[in-house]
Structure 1
Amino acid sequence: MATSTSSSAAVAAQAVTARPAVEKKTVSFHNILLGAAIQTFEVSTLGQPFEVVKTHMAANRGDSIATSLKKTYARGGIAGFYQGLIPWAWIEASTKGGVLLFTSSEIDYRARVAGFSSSWAGLFGGVGGGVAQAYTTMGFCTFMKTVEVTRHKSPDTNASTWRIAYDVFQREGIRGLNRGVSAVALRQMTNWGSRFGISRVTESMFRGADKTRKLTTGERLAASAIGGALACWNQPLEVIRVEMQSQAKAADRPANLNLFSAARYIYQKNGILGFYRGVTPRVGLSVYLTVCMVFGGDSIKSYFSDKKKA
């Protein structure tokens, strides 16, 4: 009996020893800055045009993609597609990229140490990173970006974004400037939880039986793109967020919208399909953003980790 117990203990010890150690990808101060740089690059290139068209369609739910493009161009030509880029999108991007990279990496590592698979660890890291983004940097910035895109529907079309922000602050204080932050938090946690989680699942599918195989660049790009596209299942949260932050005025639009009253108003005006307005440009935005942050972020972290070992 004693021999059998000893043998079992030895087998268990060998199994523990055989399990590969969880390697933590280095996240240094330089790496956080690079995360911010990636996000700023993303929003300054294709990100903001996708964001503007997506926001326009979510706020103007009767407009098609073609109509949205025409109206956006009519508001300011090519520059119209970059409304809200300076300074709001830059402020948001330069901070939330670093917050996401640091928070998601730390949670991902802790989850893998606790025994979770890379897919679950990626999901947990994405959820934690998304929530951290929303409550540290994104509430005010998303509000101001939405103001930029929808303020032409305000009664005072000549009011500057700063003037509108000041008026909101005077009426409602900090809470007014962070209107819709709860919807932003829900969107971000489901966004990045889905993006990281689905990307990791796709990577595992590409690896097949050989779980240690290093993925090719094409496979990693494809995994990020698939994760970004499928993460757009939560488009209703995005439409609700835009409606809560929109400067549009209507006689039947309730004042001080919350998650539930905004959802009810959208359903009454546009039905179920209203919750999916702007999903096409958002898929484009999400794929581009996820490729930049998941593929690009992983590449940067691996680079610094390899450099430190060398």
Structure 2
Amino acid sequence: MSAAIAPSLPASEPPKLEKKPIKFSNLLLGAGLNLFEVTSLGQPLEVIKTTMAANRGDGFGAALGRIWNRGGVFGFYQGLIPWAWIEASTKGAVLLFVASEAEYYARAAGAGEFGGGIFGGVTGGVAQAYATMGFCTCMKTVEITKHKMASTGQKAPGTWATFMDIYRREGIRGINKGVNAVAIRQMTNWGSRFGLSRLAEQGIRDLTGKKEGEKLSAVEKITASALGGGLSAWNQPIEVIRVEMQSKKEDPNRPKKMTVGNTFKYIYETNGLKGLYRGVTPRIGLGVWQTVCMVAMGDMAKTYVEKLTGEAVTAKH
């Protein structure tokens, strides 16, 4: 009796990765999303977080009162124009472009969603820190933390006068003071946000029975991004160190030449472990909002643009 030979089944196709094309519209998308984020909830949360980190004896309510007394509603938008807008328009473009490219190549090399998200976020975060964020975060912090000179009868210098004064006295180093702390913050920020958001997305797929690579709904994307953004606030000590390095408050006990290491020691000795986490509550809110804007809205907007242009490039995993 001849044995029946079963027809061989075709090997299943490996999942395909979509590579976003390198084009100017991607940069505009990142800049636009970040401008929306900072102009809506981003800057008020940034001001609260920075005020609490700089005045570590203040609780949440005291920080709100301090900001209100400084300028009412407009006090919550201190540093928005021009520094936050400059930072947002440039860092958003750099982040979304670099992170998207780095995440794709990591996935193409065999990394999973979690690993690819971390690599993309870390790479994008470092790129934006050194390319655009150093002088912007420094100037925002200076504006939020500088002493009110009106109480002594002096006229407080304007935004550009303050910028030029720092440049004349300390040069480029002064304008970029704390940039290494910014880089550490950004690489841990966006590595956590992208990585944890992708991990949350995979968890949602497992719960809903969706296959890997299958698109999530808008609500599922936003939920995953909110989880990733909130959990990424674990690195708040780096943010407090960054604020302290860039602030202009007067304290004879502060190190004259501040580094990440001696600033950490100074904060811990003066305020303890609690001081290193001062401002973490608004930071969680800021992390959630930033991640929803830049990860969830970014993914959805890029998908929409691809559908309009039909220019998505595919590559086998």
TM-score normalised by length of structure 2 = 0.90
User: In structure 2, how many angstroms separate the alpha carbons of the residues matched to 1:166 and 1:282?
Assistant: 30
**Residue 20 (structure 1) shift:** 2.0
Structure-to-structure mapping, 1:157-172, within 5 angstroms: 158-172=156-170
Cross-structure match for 2:216: 215
Other structure's SS at 1:241 match: helix
Structure 2: which 5+ residue stretches go unaligned?
1-7, 312-317
User: In structure 2, how many angstroms separate the alpha carbons of the residues matched to 1:286 and 1:304?
Assistant: 25
Query: Which range is displaced more, 161-170 or 65-74?
Result: 161-170
Cross-structure match for 1:266: 267
Structure 1: which 5+ residue stretches go unaligned?
1-9
Cross-structure match for 1:23: 18
Cross-structure match for 1:302: 303
Cross-structure match for 2:178: 180
Structure-to-structure mapping, 1:174-253, within 5 angstroms: 174-208=172-206, 210-253=211-254
Query: Which range is displaced more, 112-121 or 125-134?
Result: 112-121
**Residue 48 (structure 1) shift:** 0.4
The 3 A distance-change label for structure 1 pair 53 and 115 is: same
1:113-139 deviation per Cα after TM superposition (whole angstroms, max 9, x unaligned):
111112211110000000000000000
Whichever residue aligns with residue 251 of structure 1, its letter is P
* 1:76 aligned to which of 60, 71, 76: 71
Residue 291 in structure 1 maps to residue 292 in structure 2: yes
Structure-to-structure mapping, 1:112-191, within 5 angstroms: 112-152=107-147, 158-191=156-189
User: In structure 2, how many angstroms separate the alpha carbons of the residues matched to 1:187 and 1:22?
Assistant: 29
Contact conserved, 1:254 with 1:261, CA < 8 A, in 2? yes
User: In structure 2, how many angstroms separate the alpha carbons of the residues matched to 1:152 and 1:233?
Assistant: 30
**Residue 157 (structure 1) shift:** 7.1
Contact conserved, 2:15 with 2:213, CA < 8 A, in 1? no
**Residue 23 (structure 1) shift:** 1.6
Contact conserved, 1:31 with 1:300, CA < 8 A, in 2? no
User: In structure 2, how many angstroms separate the alpha carbons of the residues matched to 1:98 and 1:33?
Assistant: 6
Whichever residue aligns with residue 249 of structure 2, its letter is A
The 3 A distance-change label for structure 1 pair 26 and 300 is: farther
Cross-structure match for 2:315: none
User: In structure 2, how many angstroms separate the alpha carbons of the residues matched to 1:251 and 1:214?
Assistant: 56
Contact conserved, 2:38 with 2:84, CA < 8 A, in 1? yes
Cross-structure match for 1:279: 280
Other structure's SS at 1:271 match: helix
**Residue 153 (structure 1) shift:** 6.0
Query: Which range is displaced more, 161-170 or 216-225?
Result: 161-170
**Residue 110 (structure 1) shift:** 0.6
User: In structure 2, how many angstroms separate the alpha carbons of the residues matched to 1:49 and 1:290?
Assistant: 16
User: In structure 2, how many angstroms separate the alpha carbons of the residues matched to 1:262 and 1:26?
Assistant: 42
User: In structure 1, how many angstroms separate the alpha carbons of the residues matched to 2:166 and 2:177?
Assistant: 10
Structure with the higher fraction of residues in helix conformation: 1
1:208-267 deviation per Cα after TM superposition (whole angstroms, max 9, x unaligned):
153243212111110000000000000000000000000001121221211011111101
User: In structure 1, how many angstroms separate the alpha carbons of the residues matched to 2:272 and 2:261?
Assistant: 15
Say how many residue pairs are matched.
298
Contact conserved, 2:52 with 2:279, CA < 8 A, in 1? yes
Cross-structure match for 2:80: 85
**Residue 31 (structure 1) shift:** 2.1
User: In structure 2, how many angstroms separate the alpha carbons of the residues matched to 1:110 and 1:301?
Assistant: 17
Contact conserved, 1:153 with 1:249, CA < 8 A, in 2? no
Residue 102 in structure 1 maps to residue 97 in structure 2: yes
Cross-structure match for 2:49: 54
Contact conserved, 2:148 with 2:156, CA < 8 A, in 1? no
Whichever residue aligns with residue 232 of structure 1, its letter is A
User: In structure 2, how many angstroms separate the alpha carbons of the residues matched to 1:279 and 1:235?
Assistant: 6
User: In structure 1, how many angstroms separate the alpha carbons of the residues matched to 2:182 and 2:276?
Assistant: 15
Whichever residue aligns with residue 268 of structure 1, its letter is E
User: In structure 2, how many angstroms separate the alpha carbons of the residues matched to 1:272 and 1:153?
Assistant: 29
1:144-178 deviation per Cα after TM superposition (whole angstroms, max 9, x unaligned):
00001001267977233333322222222101110
Contact conserved, 1:26 with 1:305, CA < 8 A, in 2? no
Whichever residue aligns with residue 163 of structure 2, its letter is A
Contact conserved, 1:147 with 1:161, CA < 8 A, in 2? no
1:256-309 deviation per Cα after TM superposition (whole angstroms, max 9, x unaligned):
211011111101110011100000001111101110000111011111222222
Residue 256 in structure 1 maps to residue 257 in structure 2: yes
